[in-house]
Amino acid sequence: MTSFGYNVLGFGAGIKPVVNGVRFDGTNDWLSNAASPYTGSSSAKTLTYSVWIKRNGAGLAEALYYFDKGGLAVGEISIDASNRTIILLRNAAGTTILDATVTSPTILAGTWTNIIISVDLANAANRHITIANAAATVTWTTYTNDTIDFAN
């Protein structure tokens, strides 16, 4: 079955694909809720993040997650030009309270890859990062028992 230019295979009776839910062309693409992101959210010491990505090419710096308040970056998850995954979180004063660099595994171009990040800044034993179902090798430069400034 072809719908809106996408080949959709294997859908049984009663199951309908979501077509054009989000469609990226690979040039300056992102989702944004500029009007009022995270309405009703509160600051916390924990973060859980999961995403599936498919990189177009290795050696490119790419942002996966970015959250700011008034121009101050509160949370950033990105891949740098050396294919390392970088995680930065800040408190309300703008101080970096989590700075982590994943050196292995790297995320290959052209392959769908899952990244899962789970951190509890109150307990360093409760920090886990997996990439492509493998435990990541992480350098934890900063890991401070403080609150991530998610409040709006």
Contact 129, 143 (CB under 8 A): no
Percent of the chain clearing pLDDT 70 (strictly above) = 70
Sheet of strand 85-90, all strands in order from the earlier edge strand to the far edge: 62-69, 72-79, 85-90, 96-104, 137-143
pTM value is 0.73
CB within 8 A of 99, min separation 6: which ones?
87, 88, 140, 141, 142, 143
CB within 8 A of 15, min separation 6: which ones?
none
Residue 51, helix vs strand vs coil: strand
pLDDT for residue 123: 95
pLDDT for residue 22: 58
pLDDT for residue 6: 33
Residue 28 pLDDT > 70: no
pLDDT for residue 116: 93
Mean pLDDT score across all residues of the chain: 77
What number is the average pLDDT over the span 78-94?
89
* CA 127 – CA 48 distance, rounded (Å): 10
> What are the tens digits of pLDDT across the range 101-141?
999 998 888 888 899 999 999 999 999 999 999 999 999 99
